[in-house]
Chains A and B, each alone.
Chain A
């Protein structure tokens, strides 16, 4: 069953000097529980594609249909709520709130969702334990390593029980040990919660773990391959 259907997705940047087609008429579907890497060189349109997929960047034309909902036909308020309840984000530079502890960062999105305090606390504890840093629940981001911060970001992305998680270059700031560990974790989360993971990356270690690799260049899909992984 398709979780995400993308039809003719296009993004054109009109600058004073030149017109740039960052994403040029992409048609693609993603299924529930996929572990997909969107790969391509810098400037190929990966991040723009991911942003449009996640309801952050409005496409020039085309449709993003998630669970039957045409995302870009929602009002801005509906779109915010849709993002909150259906999409988890993992960013390259973690983007944790520096004044909140790891636990509070994870809990925050559930607070926005209006979940009861008891449920929030329990899920935060479970998620941080699941990502392997249950003992750092009260540590602020500045006291955590890059790998640990990205684990908190993954826990935060999972906290709202989203349909899928979009990760933009999640390993770009991590060393190889932290990268392997994070990929193991995301693979485990993918299996455990059956959450769809879509990465934008050009990190070979991530590509090696992906079950599906979509290669983009000049805003167009060059190839779309599926692999059997352990």
Chain B
């Protein structure tokens, strides 16, 4: 669920890497722009593993309809280039992605459309500060309405064409506040990030998604921690279950163990026998559980768990109401090893009890 949320945030909202003028993220000052953003964009596009680069003008502004107004973050984008970095174009639920409106088209979120009471082709006014610190306004028309899983994002983000916003704010041609980069494989992020730093130089701020949205990283770490807590609880239950079962086994077989000791089975062999039985017991259950879990997980990869009854609540938190499961093969190996370890630990006390048997006493049991 957390991985799903992170992947959606990367794909829809932030991309893998972003470049800003140092300090822009803190101040959002319109004058903190990257002057040669166009050239830099081309250079970064040549780095192996990079599948999309786009530049953006990003300004805090006010969007106002005839009825009401709302503070928004307006992004001036190149619609075609943006497609290679984020998936807003796939989230359009009404109208079209920058089509159907010739002059000043805008794409807005569903939540904002509801708030400002805007429909397709509705006109609204965006008020921004230009480079000379003058307040300026422009009229835009809604070309498309998008809906992501994050209703807060939908309420606060408006997309317009780069050229339209550039004109409105007297922005230098080719300059941008933000360069967003999409890559082919998440595992290549550290290497690509280094390559981008070499191309961009050390004066610009280059951040990967974990730095851009640290709470997302904390989310991953927290979910991993929760998962390990759950695993520990389950393994503890398994541990006590096996101890109980093996103690019963040892008690029921006191006479047999006594006989084995009498005929010459030494303590190491008896200890090993109990441990092996315990491991076999836990592995049998473990393997059955892992197979059932893997099948269920594989099924869940294509058949999501439907939480749409609580969709509104989830969207407030930025989560999808349909949760897809994910199977991590390394986790299966880890769990199998932990189950074996649990089996060994669980066998120690029953095996100790077995070894405490006196063969003469054990053989007297009827």
Contact = CB atoms under 8 A, between A and B. Distances in A.
Interface of A: 47, 51, 54, 56-57, 76-77, 80-81, 83-85, 89, 91, 93, 95, 97-98, 108-109, 112-113, 156, 160
24 contacts: A47-B364, A54-B262, A56-B360, A56-B363, A76-B267, A77-B266, A77-B267, A81-B264, A81-B266, A83-B262, A83-B264, A84-B263, A84-B264, A84-B265, A85-B264, A89-B259, A95-B259, A97-B256, A97-B260, A109-B263, A112-B263, A112-B264, A112-B265, A156-B263
A56 B263 contact: no
A215 B364 CA distance: 22
B363 A95 contact: yes
A212 B51 CA distance: 98
Contacts of B264: 80-81, 83-85, 109, 112-113, 160
Given A77-B266, A81-B266, A91 B363 contact: yes
A98 B260 CA distance: 13
B161 interface: no
Given A80-B266, A89-B259, 7 more contacts: A56-B363, A80-B261, A81-B264, A95-B255, A95-B256, A109-B263, A112-B263
Interface string B153-190: 00000000000000000000000000000000000000
Nearest to B261: A80
Contacts of A85: 264
B359 interface: yes
Contacts of A84: 263-265
A12 B287 CA distance: 52
A181 B136 CA distance: 116
Contacts of B262: 54, 56, 83, 89
Nearest to A153: B259
Contacts of A91: 259, 363
B115 interface: no
B42 interface: no
**Interface SS majority for chain B:** helix
Contacts of A57: 358, 360
Interface residues of B, number: 18
Contacts of A54: 262
Interface in B347-366: 358-360, 363-364, 366
A113 B269 CA distance: 12
A109 B263 CA distance: 7
Closest 6 CB pairs between A and B? A84-B264, A57-B360, A95-B259, A56-B360, A51-B360, A80-B266
Interface of B: 255-256, 259-267, 269, 358-360, 363-364, 366
A95 B260 CA distance: 9
A91 B261 CA distance: 14
A70 B359 CA distance: 20
A101 to B, nearest CB: 16
A108 B265 CA distance: 10
B267 to A, nearest CB: 8
Contacts of B363: 51, 56, 91, 95
A91 B256 CA distance: 12
A212 to B, nearest CB: 24
A57 B41 CA distance: 88
Nearest to A51: B360
> Which of B255, B263, B366 has the largest number of chain A CB atoms within 10 A?
B263
Contact of A83 (B255, B263, B269): B263
A109 B269 CA distance: 13
Nearest to B363: A91
A89 B263 contact: yes
Contacts of A156: 263
B270 to A, nearest CB: 10
Nearest to A91: B363
A95 B256 CA distance: 7
Nearest to A77: B266
A226 B261 CA distance: 33
B266 to A, nearest CB: 5
A108 B260 CA distance: 10
Contacts of A98: 256
Q: Which of A47, A77, A89, A113 has the most CB of B within 10 A?
A: A89
